[in-house]
Structure 1
Amino acid sequence: IFKEHWSSYALKRINQAIEASKKLSAIIVVLEDDVADFGLMRQFGIEYYGPVMGNVSGKRIIDKNRAKNIEKFYQSIVDYILKFDNIQTIILAGPGFFKTDFLKYLELQHKDLAKKSIVEATGSGGRVGINEVLKKGTVEKLAAENRVAFEIAAINEILQEIAKSSNLVVYGKKQVKEAINLGAIEKLLVLDNLIRSEDLEDSMDMVENMSGEVLVISSQHEGGKQLEGLGGMAATLRYSIN
């Protein structure tokens, strides 16, 4: 397909996709006894790293240094995770109790990482365990849930402004397009199926060229249905146009 002119909106989405492919979307950490393996999920696929080895004896009574060795092992896992930028989600997996114990360690010592972590049970450790997580679709589900939550939060912001009878919100095609032409848009929300049915790229380009933000909202969740009830388009404004 040959296209003579790509709109700035389309080009921006292409560039965003390229940048996203470089970013780490999730780290899968599979723990089994005193071995940790890592699977780095990026847009283009999985990269395997590790293992990180601990020196944790299974003999709880005999080995007086066991607790210290476990803490040292857990900290070495944290150090390994922190080598990577743009960590969005940490999936802790593996058989047995090590994954939940490691989460407890994070909650005490590294609360910022604990907030990004979830636990997923697998029957195996190592790369086999990483592949179990991938087959369950956990990463894709998390990405979808995060996007939906982000979109619903944007819709709620609009609804709150409407509830306050604010002069800094508009909705419906006519009112929103008037605000776009006046350069008053701070954040524009557009329903995805509206883009497919109408030529809105010029309007979206105009908003972004004036340093406004454009969010395309999925019609497949409750927030999208609420936006549809507002005419498929809504926006917050930099200043009142009434």
Structure 2
Amino acid sequence: MKAVHRDKESVSLVPESLEDLWALTKIVAEGDEASASSLRRVKNLDLARSDSGEKKRVRVRIRVERVELAENANKLRVTGVILSGEPEEFVQAGEYHTIDVEPGEKLTLYKQLNAFEKAELDEAVKRRKRVRACLTVLDEHHALVAQLSDRLKFVCEISSYASKRDPKGFAAAKTEFYGQLTQALKQQEVETFVIAGPGFAKDDFIEWLKQREPSLAAKVVTAHASTAEKSGLNELLKGGSLERVVAGKRLQEDYAAVEEFMKRVSKGGLVCYGFEEVKRAVEARAADGVLISDALLRRGNPFAREANALLDAVKRQGGSFRILDSQSEAGLEFESFKIAALLRYRL
């Protein structure tokens, strides 16, 4: 996500991926005012013509009533009542309009962000600034390694001289190939490694990696690419496949956090749950980390104001919190608790 303008009263954002559009569903809320360039169908005044009119480019500002992510269409649909717009002959105040926000298009919100919305926006902006992932495509003969941030940067190409026609030297040559590739990956300061390629070479390498570098292997996710050439890297970037892989990594982390919470609950460990208990832990600086369902933070929830204030307090203390998507499987497993804290010590 790119934030092109941000102050106390408004923020202008340019989503750059489907994941950014999903983040906007957590930032744009009913009652907000939003503006963007948009297409609006204008009916022809010629009553003799039966067509439904033509689409005109307009600048429109609406009061939001509904926000929905049309994932298959790769757009965010923001619907509401028109407050103002131009050209005036195409925009009538009081009528309804839907702004279709697609990657690369700017949306301006006129609102003061609460703690939950700030956290979602900050995380989305950070994703753009940091190296998001290390991408590797490989087959039995060579591997390409690249870094992905706001652009794709090639790191290195490693060749394998292993040949099954030379049974004696095959194992040693393959080990050397895998060893060189492992060293290249260890030099990349990222949290997610995407390994893809045709055939079984990627799976064989990952199994090799698990035995020798388990901490690195734990950060690996797999994807499919039909070739181990540069076109294979480009293939990962197309069609949203990489976004799904990286989003899947976040879901894995959510699962791990919920599992740790459940394990502590079952063993009577350092954990508490329920709003008042968690609030007491935060005030005592005993909370090592807070888990919270996004349903508790959304506008319209009667506890939203208090919950957002609690996250503000956690941030002021330099603490961490994880916001769980209430519609994901990890979020649904956590649904009955809503909020919990992993403790440094017992209260």
Change (3 A) 1:228 1:101: closer
Shift of 1:170: 3.4
Q: What TM-score, normalized by structure 1, do the two folds share?
A: 0.71
CA distance in 2, matches of 1:103, 1:240: 40
Matched, 1:123 2:229: no
Q: Please, which of 179, 189, 193 is the counterpart of residue 89 of structure 1?
A: 193
How is 1:146-165 mapped onto 2 (pairs within 5 angstroms)?
146-163=249-266
CA distance in 2, matches of 1:59, 1:182: 64
Note if contact 1:189-1:216 (Cα within 8 Å) is conserved in structure 2.
yes
More strand by percentage: 2
Corresponding residue for 1:208? Answer: 315
CA offsets, 1:194-221, max 9 Å, x none? 2122223322112332344322121112
Corresponding residue for 1:73? Answer: 177
CA distance in 2, matches of 1:184, 1:71: 48
CA distance in 2, matches of 1:158, 1:152: 10
Matched, 1:134 2:234: no
Q: What TM-score, normalized by structure 2, do the two folds share?
A: 0.53
Corresponding residue for 2:17? Answer: none
How is 1:6-155 mapped onto 2 (pairs within 5 angstroms)?
19-42=126-149, 44-56=150-162, 60-61=165-166, 65-93=169-197, 95-135=198-238, 137-155=240-258
Matched, 1:192 2:294: yes
Matched, 1:217 2:324: yes
Corresponding residue for 1:3? Answer: 8
One-letter amino acid of the counterpart of residue 189, structure 1:
L
CA distance in 2, matches of 1:167, 1:104: 35
Shift of 1:127: 1.1
Note if contact 1:227-1:234 (Cα within 8 Å) is conserved in structure 2.
no
Higher RCO (CA < 8 A, seq sep 6+): 1
Shift of 1:85: 1.8
CA distance in 2, matches of 1:165, 1:107: 32
CA offsets, 1:17-48, max 9 Å, x none? 55544544432222245332223233x24323
Residue 149 of structure 1 aligns to a residue whose secondary structure is: helix
Note if contact 1:26-1:41 (Cα within 8 Å) is conserved in structure 2.
yes
CA distance in 1, matches of 2:143, 2:264: 48
One-letter amino acid of the counterpart of residue 85, structure 1:
E
One-letter amino acid of the counterpart of residue 91, structure 1:
I
One-letter amino acid of the counterpart of residue 187, structure 1:
G
One-letter amino acid of the counterpart of residue 251, structure 2:
V
CA distance in 1, matches of 2:158, 2:276: 59
CA offsets, 1:143-184, max 9 Å, x none? 33332233334334444555566795130x455445555655
Q: Mind listing any 5+ residue stretches in structure 1 that lack a counterpart?
A: none
Matched, 1:170 2:288: no
Identity fraction in percent: 25
More helix by percentage: 1
CA distance in 2, matches of 1:139, 1:100: 18
Q: Mind listing any 5+ residue stretches in structure 2 that lack a counterpart?
A: 1-5, 10-111
CA RMSD of aligned residues (A): 3.8
One-letter amino acid of the counterpart of residue 144, structure 2:
D
